[in-house]
Homo-oligomer: A and B are copies of this chain.
């Protein structure tokens, strides 16, 4: 019989059971047994004695962060071209840049930089858009597999409204997708999974959506796309699919809007009551991407409403709409933009709290991956050790304050250790 594997981390344990408060265990222990959280203890129970303990001293230990929406190829132009709205930005920046990933040498150079920085960050889980290029997408998956992070990665589909150099024929798109999935299956990854990834309605014909649904049925694949990000985009979807009740209804009509299969919709800045209701009924996950929504002038999503309605919601960096893989920044931006929304456009929705954005970055988004993002017993053991001594302070701070402060000030320099599903990640 295989011996059970147990190890223990010691430090200031912080995690979320719910949106309203932090669960904090100062100078406590979080125990990993066979890749799962066994429990959090102030005093280690006798029965756990004799297992290896790694003492991180005064550091904080939190569940890893889930980045629910990030475009890997766009990392190479993060922070650039930030003077355009979504649709213009896609044409001018995104499409020309993404076309370069037909060149595997370029793809490797670019993806290595991205995966390297993700590995060093506080992120343990990510849902990633690649490009429509099958070989480069597999290369990205190889790199992520090696990193030890747990990721869903999607080959992008586009068969209309994209430049010739970055558009597939409809059948070609689904055939390439099938081929890609078969190749992924052959790879026997243990950390890396495929996810269906049509870019968004404007670039995907109805016929392609139908074919993707068939592929989804055959392989039981999760799904990710974009939704209600920008007024111009929404009007365009209405033109392209006049039969739809609302934007999300397009995906739903093709059976690609939650329900049986885990689904992430990025943005939802302008989701109306009907769309919100449908997302709730179908268990769709929302990826809130506050920095991107600023940078491409989209607006501010009504996140408090999503939380109150009990929708699934996590955070996304949305590189390169967002500029950084640093999920602390996503948390700060979520609080900041919610305050501006409250002040400027709708004071019925109170600003988000540190507790709420931390919940979204951990358990809220983590649940897309299963029991992930908390230290409650039975959750997969993702943990990040945060040493904040670089952020000098003239007097002691309590643990909650140290965590709140890191949302504004921390980056990869604070990450002193990282574990995914019980395995330590090399962050050097």
**A contact set with B: CB distance below 8 Å:** 76, 78-83, 106, 109-110, 113, 116-117, 291, 294-295, 297-300, 323-324, 332, 335-337, 339-345, 351, 353-354, 392-395, 397, 401, 404-409, 411
Contact = CB atoms under 8 A, between A and B. Distances in A.
Among A345, A394, A404: residue with most chain B CB under 10 A: A394
7 contacts: A79-B405, A80-B401, A113-B392, A294-B336, A294-B340, A297-B340, A341-B344
A332 B329 CA distance: 13
Contacts of A408: 78-79, 82, 323-324
A343 B298 contact: yes
A301 to B, nearest CB: 12
Contacts of A392: 113, 116-117
Nearest to A352: B83
Contact of A295 (B82, B336, B342): B336
Nearest to A108: B394
B340 A404 contact: no
Contact of A106 (B297, B337, B394): B394
Given A323-B409, A343-B299, A344-B345, A294 B337 contact: yes
Contacts of A300: 340, 344
Contact of A79 (B80, B81, B339, B409): B409
Given A351-B297, A408-B324, A409-B323, A82 B335 contact: yes
B83 A353 contact: yes
A83 B409 contact: no
Given A337-B294, A340-B294, A394 B80 contact: no
A130 B19 CA distance: 37
B297 A83 contact: no
A290 B37 CA distance: 41
A291 B109 CA distance: 35
Given A82-B408, A117-B392, 18 more contacts: A78-B405, A79-B404, A79-B407, A80-B397, A80-B404, A82-B335, A113-B392, A113-B394, A294-B336, A294-B340, A297-B342, A298-B343, A299-B340, A299-B344, A337-B340, A340-B340, A340-B344, A411-B411
A78 B340 contact: no
A354 to B, nearest CB: 7
Contacts of A345: 344-345
Contacts of A405: 78-80
Nearest to A323: B408
Contacts of A401: 80
Contacts of A353: 83
Contact of A83 (B323, B324, B341, B354): B354
Given A297-B342, A344-B341, A344-B345, A291 B336 contact: yes
A295 B409 CA distance: 14
A106 B298 CA distance: 45
Contacts of A342: 297
Among A340, A342, A411: residue with most chain B CB under 10 A: A340
A342 B409 CA distance: 27
A353 B337 CA distance: 20
A291 B332 CA distance: 10
A103 to B, nearest CB: 10
Contacts of A340: 294, 297, 299-300, 337, 340, 344
